Structure 1
Amino acid sequence: MSTIRETYDTQGFVVVPGLVSSRDFSELRKASQNVISRTREGSWPHRRTVGKQFPPFDNDHPDSWGVQHVMHPDLGESAAVFSDWYTSDALTRVCAELLQCKEEDLQLELFNLLINPLSHSFALRWHRDDVKETALPEEEQAALDKWHTGVQWNTALYEDACLYVVPGSHKVPRTPGQRAHSCTLDPPDNPMSMSDAKLLTLKAGDTVFYNSNILHCASYDHTAERATLHACMGDARFSAARRRNILQHGLSWVKDERFRDQLTPKGKRMLDKLLELQQNFPGDGIGYSLDG
């Protein structure tokens, strides 16, 4: 077993530096600034709004903490930069290694951008991405046992000290103390009050890959510039287990032929697996993973 896979399996996350080449890094920063500007000026409506932690997102607040659907063809050249990175050999090799699958098994899923709000610091509550905070220990364990067929990652384009995790919590239900800190819809006043919590500080260019059902939260300082690529990828052989977590974000736009045209041959193969998932599980009535 490789070192990064062993760390990922044991801790639920692993930090990998240097996946982004210097040329790609410059292009990704430029593309990020473009879509951030469009979002903040109101010409890109797909955003994560301050005050709303999880989908469905609304437009009830003028400040944003994220940009949704950054590979959408309506974003033009920037979208192509993001899709090229998402399907790059450097990234897909790591994902396949962590998922213990072949690269041809990889399924295209979500790609968003996490940013600093302009005027309002913001936080997410302690959560697992596809397990309700009210889940009983046996329900948690059942969900965790099957949540090994996808990987999520954050690639920092500026230093990022926002994400808190509880190492190893991707395998076991919460302790009574951890449950007490994660059973409400409110973000914590101090994330480090959670038992065994760890702050992950990423340097610009670092990527943290993590199991998205690890117990985690985040805190966004509006005074610290942030542009962090936030995405996930799955093993299509087991995609049914991930359908709600992926399809809840509304991905009808991936059927646009312009999106297929901007993808590499590998990207097109990955897209076909997502389209098959959509066909097998229509979005109506699929529901949402979390409240808040």
Structure 2
Amino acid sequence: MALPLKALYDKQGFVIVPGLVRDDDREELEMACDRVIARTRAGQWPYRRTVGKQFPPYGNDHPDSWGVQHVMHPDLGEPCFVRWYTSLMITEVARELLECGEEDLQMELFNLLINPLESRFALRWHRDDVGEKATEEEEKAALEKWRYGVQWNTALYRDACLFLVPGSHRMPRTPEQRALSETMDPPEDPLEMPGSIQLVLQPGETVFYNSNILHCAAYEPGEKRATLHATMGDAKGGSTRARNVLQHGLEWMKEVRFREDLDEKSVAMLDLLLKMHAESGDAVGFSLEN
């Protein structure tokens, strides 16, 4: 008998959900992605993930990109991203996995993962908000409190970039896993990590995952990728997620011109983010080292 979605998520740290991009939304999202990717590659959008930088701050030193940041930004003029992020299909799954009410849903990050044009690029094995040198006790403490947010990747095209270790969101690394995740270098073969699997998403599939699961990624030039990469929080977590979210630079979300185009539900979600921001201050630092 298959486990319910929440139980499966709690057990393995991820779940794959199909059908969160409706047929009548797919073309609109694909075209919007094509436009923002073209702007980014042409140097007309400064908020990008640059080859050579695995984590924030990404800088602007390399011409090749593996991601587009802040796709809900009003300067991009692509309202379909906000509509999809706050859609009932997405928020219902988020509420189930977070076990919270709609009034607790916190707007967070929405970015786009793309293929580099000329460079192979990979991320090292990591947990998004736990340092690579964390002790076993520090890992345990961080993992126990990391239940107030969910991250997801929605593939518009086939995506085989993500590798993870099921169940590692609940336990510290073994000595063998630690040896392969303490350096700054990405792995030559991700499947050498004990317990690791490769996730292959078909177009329209979404993987929701605990972002402190042990994971890495590998990107190949020439393989078209447009994967919607987002997070959503449960405001009952207070400042738990502040560093991991605010390190991406979300000052633009305070602007009236972003707020004025949102519906009532989206404004409520935004207000919870701004409350966390106000209570946490600006000096949140960065979760991981490049």
Q: Is the shorter-chain TM-score for this pair beyond 0.5, marking a shared fold?
A: yes
Partner of 1:18: 19
Q: Which amino acid aligns with 2:245?
A: I
Deviation at 1:19, TM superposition (A): 1.1
Structure 1 stretches of 4+ moved >2 Å? none
Partner of 1:73: 74
Question: How is 1:131-142 mapped onto 2 (pairs within 5 angstroms)?
Answer: 131-142=130-141
Deviation at 1:262, TM superposition (A): 2.1
Q: Which amino acid aligns with 2:194?
A: S
- Is 1:64–1:116's contact at 8 Å kept on the other side of the alignment? yes
Partner of 2:258: 259
Please give the TM-score of this superposition, normalised by the length of structure 2: 0.98
Query: Is the deviation greater in 187-196 or in 258-267?
Result: 258-267
Per-residue CA shift, 1:201-253, capped at 9, x if unaligned? Answer: 00000000000000000000112100000000000111311000011111000
Equivalent residue for 1:288, pick from 279, 283, 286 = 286
Q: Partners in 1 of 2:263 and 2:32 — Cα distance?
A: 18
Partner of 1:8: 9
Question: Alpha carbon RMSD of aligned pairs, Å?
Answer: 1.0
Question: How is 1:94-133 mapped onto 2 (pairs within 5 angstroms)?
Answer: 94-133=93-132
Q: Partners in 2 of 1:118 and 1:277 — Cα distance?
A: 37
Is 1:54 aligned with 2:55? yes
- Is 1:122–1:221's contact at 8 Å kept on the other side of the alignment? yes
- Is 1:244–1:287's contact at 8 Å kept on the other side of the alignment? yes
Listed as ranges, the gaps of 5+ residues in structure 1 are: none
Deviation at 1:23, TM superposition (A): 1.1
Q: Which amino acid aligns with 1:45?
A: P
Q: Partners in 2 of 1:196 and 1:170 — Cα distance?
A: 13
Please give the TM-score of this superposition, normalised by the length of structure 1: 0.98
Deviation at 1:261, TM superposition (A): 1.9
Q: Partners in 2 of 1:256 and 1:242 — Cα distance?
A: 22
SS in 2 for 1:262: coil
Deviation at 1:182, TM superposition (A): 0.2
Q: Partners in 1 of 2:29 and 2:257 — Cα distance?
A: 20
- Is 1:87–1:264's contact at 8 Å kept on the other side of the alignment? no
SS in 2 for 1:184: coil
Q: Partners in 1 of 2:279 and 2:284 — Cα distance?
A: 12
Listed as ranges, the gaps of 5+ residues in structure 2 are: none
SS in 2 for 1:240: coil
Q: Partners in 1 of 2:249 and 2:157 — Cα distance?
A: 28
Deviation at 1:4, TM superposition (A): 1.1
SS in 1 for 2:162: strand
Deviation at 1:2, TM superposition (A): 6.7
Partner of 1:37: 38
Question: How is 1:171-186 mapped onto 2 (pairs within 5 angstroms)?
Answer: 171-186=170-185
